[in-house]
Amino acid sequence: DVKVTQSSRYLVKRTGEKVFLECVQDMDHENMFWYRQDPGLGLRLIYFSYDVKMKEKGDIPEGYSVSREKKERFSLILESASTNQTSMYLCASTFSSNQPQHFGDGTRLSIL
Amino acid sequence: AQSVSQHNHHVILSEAASLELGCNYSYGGTVNLFWYVQYPGQHLQLLLKYFSGDPLVKGIKGFEAEFIKSKFSFNLRKPSVQWSDTAEYFCAVSYTGGFKTIFGAGTRLFVKA
């Protein structure tokens, strides 16, 4: 069974800090995604990656960057955390868009 | 822009009631359709999917969905809900040849015991 592991379930950081969220998948999937989930807004795509070192902006990339140095790992970086980035962050992976995405448990990030 | 619209944000039902959650997507080509479910405190998981063939697809836990191409719809149904179906349900669409999956805003279902 596919396993997508996010490094933290809960994280509390301060405004202005640089924040790293890590995600690892164990199924050799080509595509990986970072979403944020907010009540009433569903899942909004921040960034995605379709191969090592390749990345594409999603719908809300401002204030975020990503890194994919290895196929199994996709990192989300908040360059200078702000309170409006308090949210649930979900990582997902899939072999192709024709296949379902597999999600991690999520990281609930609070920026104080 | 491509989009997915879920008709209801909150639904409250009694056990044994029938469920139908609406989902419409914007026109854009050949689609792959999904319903995901997120139970309280758990990760999103696939409920069912449609890629091609029979437009009526069956998923886990007695759920089914019908793809109506002319209406750009993919509604989720269950004839008799249980308390354990309390969860948030997301409709999602991807377009063949693309990378992205577009998610609806979600529908929170609460089933009263």
B51-73: per-residue pLDDT in tens?
989 999 999 999 999 999 999 99
Gap between the Cα atoms of B82 and B78, Å rounded: 10
Least confident stretch, A61-75, A83-97, B17-31, B77-91 = B17-31
pLDDT top residue among B58 and B100: B58
- Which pLDDT score, from 0 to 100, does residue B99 have? 79
A105:B42 CB<8 A: yes
**CB within 8 Å of A11: residues ≥ 6 apart:** A19, A21, A107, A108, A109, A110
Q: Answer whether A104's CB lies under 8 Å from A6's CB.
A: yes
- Which pLDDT score, from 0 to 100, does residue A105 have? 94
- Which pLDDT score, from 0 to 100, does residue A109 have? 97
Nearest CA among B112, B58, B48 for reference residue B85? B112
The dihedral region occupied by A58, where left means phi > 0, alpha psi between -120 and 50, and beta the remainder, is: beta
Q: Answer whether A77's CB lies under 8 Å from A65's CB.
A: yes
A7, two tokens: 């490094």
Mean pLDDT within A19-39:
95
pLDDT for A31 beyond 80:
yes
- Element housing A46 (H / E): strand A42-51
Interface residue A61 vs chain B (CB under 8 A): no
* List of chain A residues whose C-beta atoms are within 8 Å of the C-beta of residue B89: none
Mean pLDDT within B72-92:
96
pLDDT for A1 beyond 90:
no
Mean pLDDT within A75-94:
97
Question: Smallest Cβ distance to B99: which of A43, A97, A103?
Answer: A97
Exposure b/e, B14-48, CB count within 10 A at least 16 = b: eeeeebebebbbeeeeebbbbbbbbeeeebbebbb
pLDDT top residue among A96 and B18: B18
Gap between the Cα atoms of A81 and A85, Å rounded: 7
Interface residue B49 vs chain A (CB under 8 A): yes
Interface residue B63 vs chain A (CB under 8 A): no
**CB within 8 Å of A86: residues ≥ 6 apart:** A109, A110, A111
Gap between the Cα atoms of A72 and A5, Å rounded: 10
- Which pLDDT score, from 0 to 100, does residue A101 have? 93
pLDDT band of residue B100 (cuts 50, 70, 90) is confident
Q: How far is A45 from chain B (nearest CA, A)?
A: 8
Q: Answer whether B56's CB lies under 8 Å from B73's CB.
A: no
Question: Smallest Cβ distance to B43: which of A31, A56, A105?
Answer: A105
Nearest CA among B61, B62, B58, B38 for reference residue B48? B58
- Element housing A19 (H / E): strand A19-21
Average pLDDT, chain B: 93
Question: Smallest Cβ distance to A48: which of B34, B43, B99?
Answer: B99
- Which pLDDT score, from 0 to 100, does residue B28 have? 65
The residue type found at B112 is K
Interface residue B45 vs chain A (CB under 8 A): yes
Q: Answer whether B89's CB lies under 8 Å from B75's CB.
A: no
